[in-house]
C-alpha cells in the first residue's frame, strides 16, 4: 500500500516568503518536534514538523521555499492543491505574522493541526470526492464526528495504515484538516496552535477585530487572520487554542475522531 509521508506547504522562492518562513520558525521555537534547515546565508529554507508519537508515524508536515509561482500544498503521493487568483472583496487582516510572533513569544507549545479550506468556487463536488478518495487510500483519514465536511488525516504507522488506529496518545500531531465550503471565495490555510494561555489572556492579546471566534468553537480557540505576501490569492489564519486544564482530552489523543467519526476508506 502506498503511504502518504509528507504534506508540504510550498512558498514561492522570494525574499518576502523567506521572511514569512523565518517568522514562522520563530513562532514555533517552543515546539519540540519542529526542526529547520537553513541556507548558507542563515535564512530558513525548510521547516519540518515530525509527529512525536507513535514512533515512525507519518505524514510529516513541511513548510518550504520552492520554485512555485504561487503558494501550494503538495502531497508526496500525488494530490496537489494550488491556489487560483481571486480579487473578490474581502476583509484584510490587520496583524502581521511578526507581530503575532512577538505577542505569543514563549507561549506556543505544540501544533494541533494544519489545514486547507477549499472554496466551492474553484473546487467542484466531484473534485472534492476524488481528493478524499486519493488521500483515504494513502493515509488514515477520518470523518469529523458532527457531520461537517472537515475530514482529518491523523499521523499513523504502517501497521495502522493497513489496519486502524487503536493507540490513543498525546503526540499524534500535527493533524491535517481539509475543509470544503461552497460559499468560500478563496483558498484559506489554517494553522492551529496549542498555547499555554487562557481564553481571557488571548482575548487581551488579540482583541476584536484582530481576533475573532467562531460560533460553537469559541470555547476552544481564538482566530487571528494574518497579513502575508500572497494576498489575495490565499488567506491565512491562526487558530490559537486555549490552555487545557487537567488530563488529555479525547481530541488531543485522536480518539474522538477515530471512534466517533470513523475512517474514510
Given this model, what pLDDT does residue 162 score?
96
The band of 142, judged by pLDDT with boundaries at 50, 70 and 90, is very high
> Does 157 score more than 80 pLDDT?
yes
pLDDT value of residue 87? 45
Burial of 147-173, coded b for 16+ CB within 10 Å and e otherwise, reads eeebbbbbbbbeebbeeebeebeebbb
Residue 90 has pLDDT above 60, yes or no: no
- Residue of 100, 32, 30 whose CA lies nearest to 240: 100
pLDDT band at 120 (very low <50, low <70, confident <90, very high): confident
Find, among 236, 241, 126, the residue nearest to 194 by Cα.
241
pLDDT at 91 over 70: no
Predicted confidence (pLDDT) at residue 129 exceeds the cutoff of 50: yes
- pLDDT tens digits, 202-250: 999 999 999 999 998 989 999 999 999 987 788 999 999 999 888 789 9
Rounded to an integer, the average pLDDT of 36-60 is 93
* Residue 41 confidence class, pLDDT cut points 50, 70, 90: confident
* Percent over 70 (pLDDT), the chain: 96
Rounded to two decimals, what is the model's pTM?
0.94
Q: What is the pLDDT of residue 192?
A: 98
Q: What is the pLDDT of residue 88?
A: 46
pLDDT digits over 60-89, tens only?
999 999 999 999 999 999 888 877 655 444
Angstrom distance (rounded) from CA 73 to CA 56: 22
CA distance 96 to 227: 5
Amino acid at each position: 500500500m502506498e503511504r502518504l509521508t509528507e504534506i508540504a506547504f510550498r512558498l514561492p522562492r522570494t525574499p518576502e516568503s523567506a521572511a514569512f518562513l523565518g517568522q514562522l520558525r520563530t513562532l514555533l521555537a517552543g515546539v519540540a518536534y519542529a526542526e529547520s534547515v537553513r541556507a548558507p546565508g542563515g535564512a530558513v529554507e525548510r521547516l519540518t514538523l515530525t509527529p512525536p508519537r507513535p514512533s515512525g508515524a507519518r505524514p510529516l508536515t513541511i513548510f518550504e521555499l520552492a520554485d512555485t509561482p504561487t503558494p501550494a500544498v503538495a502531497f508526496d503521493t500525488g494530490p496537489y492543491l494550488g491556489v487560483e487568483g481571486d480579487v473578490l472583496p474581502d476583509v484584510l487582516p490587520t496583524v502581521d505574522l511578526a507581530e503575532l510572533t512577538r505577542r505569543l513569544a514563549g507561549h506556543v507549545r505544540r501544533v494541533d493541526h494544519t489545514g486547507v479550506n477549499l472554496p466551492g468556487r474553484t473546487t467542484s463536488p466531484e473534485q472534492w470526492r476524488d481528493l478524499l478518495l486519493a488521500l483515504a487510500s494513502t493515509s488514515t483519514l477520518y470523518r469529523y464526528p458532527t457531520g461537517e465536511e472537515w475530514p482529518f488525516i491523523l499521523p499513523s504507522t504502517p501497521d495502522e495504515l493497513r489496519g486502524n488506529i487503536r493507540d490513543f496518545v498525546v503526540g499524534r500531531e500535527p493533524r491535517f484538516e481539509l475543509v470544503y465550503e461552497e460559499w468560500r471565495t478563496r483558498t484559506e490555510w489554517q494553522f492551529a496552535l496549542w498555547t499555554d494561555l487562557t481564553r481571557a489572556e488571548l482575548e487581551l492579546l488579540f482583541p476584536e477585530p484582530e481576533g475573532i471566534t467562531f460560533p460553537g468553537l469559541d470555547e476552544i480557540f481564538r482566530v487571528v487572520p494574518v497579513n502575508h505576501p500572497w494576498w489575495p490569492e490565499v488567506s491565512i489564519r491562526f487558530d490559537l487554542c486555549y490552555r487545557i486544564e487537567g488530563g488529555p482530552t479525547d481530541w488531543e489523543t485522536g480518539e474522538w475522531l477515530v471512534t466517533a467519526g470513523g475512517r474514510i476508506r
